[in-house]
Amino acid sequence: MSDKLDPRMPILVGCGQLVQKEKDVEKALSPMHLMADAARAAAADTGLGDKLWAAIDNVTTVRFITDSPDSGRLPFGRYPNASKTLANMLGANPAKTCHGPTGGNTPQMLVNHTAELIANGDTQVALVAGSECFGTLMRALGQGKQLPWHDENPGGTRIDIGNEKAGVTETEKRHKLQIPVNIYPMFENAIRGAKGRSVRDHQLAVGRLMAPFTEIAAKHPQAWFPIARTAEEIATPTDDNRYVGFPYTKYMNAIMQVDQAAAVVMMSVEKARELGIPQSKWVFLHGCADANDLWYPTERVNYHSSSAIRMMGRKAFAMSGWKIGDIDYFDLYSCFPSAVQIGRDELGIAEDDPRPLTVTGGLPYFGGAGNNYVMHSIATMMDKLRAKPGSKGLCTSNGWYVTKHGLGLYSTTPREGKWERENPASYQAEIDAEKHPKVEEKPNGKAKVETYTVVHGRGGAEFAILFGRLADTDARFVAHTPNDPATLQDMLTRDQLGRPGSVSSPTDGSVNIFTPE
C-alpha cells in the first residue's frame, strides 16, 4: 500500500509534550525553552533526534498568551518572532518561520495549513509547536518578580497565518463579554433552555458529562490536575468549588495557569522515506476543515448551536470518506462544557454514546495551555492511534467564543489518492450569509431574557450579564442587570430564560441595564 502513496502526501511523524510543575519561578523554564524541549521530544519520536533540524524547512509556532492583543499589561514573556527564536535554539535554519493567531483553534488550523503546504510542494519538513508557562508567569507576578523571558533580536521574517481580529465589538467589550468565563456560561443556559431542563437537572447532566474527562486526565502523564472527580462533586457548589459564572462551578472552567508544551513534526511521504522514518510512526490527516461562526457573539443565530462546526464536520468527513460511527477516539474542545455539548451535537454524536469525548482529559483537568491546548490533543491522539493501528481519531478546536473552529481526522491507515482539501472560503460564505437577529446597541423598552449568567468573584455574586430581545422589534441586545444583592440572588434562584422586563441605554455610554419584572 505505501508504495502507491502520493509522494507529496502530508503525514505527521513525530510528537512530543511536556508539563512543568516547578514551584520556584526562577528555576522554571521559560515558555520558549519548554517549547524547545517539546520540539526535541517530537524529533526524538521520529527516530532522528537532532539530525532532524538539518531537514526542517518550516518552523511554525502557536501564539503565546503574552503575545495576544489584550495582554499588553503583562510585563514580560513577549517574543517578536517566536518561530525564528525556536529555530535558532534548535539549530534549524528553515526557509519559513510562521506564527499563528490568537485562539484555541490555532493548532488544528496550523496543522491543516501545513498539510496543504506539504501537499502543494511548498514545504517538505515542518515543525509545528507551542507552549504556555502562564502558571509560572502569574506566580512570578504575585511574588513581584520579573523573569527574563524575551528575545529582542531573533532576526528573520515572520509570516503571520490567520486573522488576528478582535473577538468582540466595543459594545460587547464594555459589557465584559471578552472574558471567556463570563460568556461561556451564557451558552450553557441557552443549551439548558433548548433541552428543556431545570437548572439543577442540567447541572447534574453537565457533571455527568465532565466526570469521565477527569478520569482520563487522572491517567495522563502530562495532566495538570490528574484527579478523578464524581459528577456530583463537579456540579455541586461548595467553598472549594464556588460559582465562577453561573451555572458553572470552578471545576467546569478551563484552567489557563499551567506550564505545558507540545509539538508535532510533519512532512511528505517522500521525505519520510528519504529520512528513513518507519511507517509505524506515520499518522495521516484523512480529512480536515476550518470554519467560523458569525463573528461577534451578539450576531449569532442562537447560543445552543454552531453552523460552523456542523459545516466543517460535513466537509472533513466528505474529504475522508468516513462517518461519525467510524471514529474510535475523540478529543472535542472542552474549554467549558457548553463547547463540548455544541460540538458533540453538531457532529451527530448521541448524548448517550459510550465513546469517551476526550483523549487528554480536557482543558479544565488536563490543562488549558492558552492557545496551544489542541497541540496536546493531536500529540495524544497520535500516541493512541499508533498503539492501535488502523483506528481513527477526531480532534476539534475552538477559538474566541464558539467563534473559530478547526477539525482534523487522523489514522495510521494510509490515505489513498491525492491529498486535497476544499478551500474554507468556499463554504464560509454560506455561514456568513445566515439569517440572524438584528443587534440594537442602545436598546430601550420592553424586553425579555434570551440567555444569561451571574458573574462571581471569591466573595460571591458580583454582576449579571444577559442577551435579550426587544419586545417590539425582536432585536437582540446585551445588558447587565442592577447589581444589588436582591436582584442577583433572584437571578440565581429563579430561572431567567424568557423572563420579561425592561431595558434602558444610558446616555453616559456605560452598560445597558435590564430590569426584570
DSSP string of 428-449, one letter each residue: HHHHHT-----B-SS--EEEEE
Read off the pTM: 0.97
Contacts of 391 (CB under 8 A, 6+ apart): 328, 329, 384, 385, 411, 412
DSSP state of 165: -
- Record the cell numbers describing residue 422, joined without a space: 476544499
Distance CA 209, CA 86 (A): 38
**How many angstroms separate the Cα of 452 from the Cα of each of 184, 260, 343, 466?**
10, 33, 21, 4
Residue 332: what pLDDT?
A: 98
Mapping DSSP to helix (H, G, I), strand (E, B) and coil, where does residue 272 land? helix
Cell 507551542 sits on residue: 130
Q: Give the residue ranges of the chain where pLDDT is below 70.
A: 1-3, 70-72
Q: What would the pLDDT profile of 146-187 be if each residue is shown by its tens digit? A: 999 988 778 888 899 988 899 999 999 999 999 999 999 999
pLDDT in tens, 238-288: 999 999 999 999 999 999 999 999 999 999 999 999 999 999 999 999 999
3-state secondary structure 202-268: HHHHHHHHHHHHHHHHCCCCCCCCCCCCCHHHHHCCCCCCCEEECCEEHHHCCCCCCEEEEEEEEEE
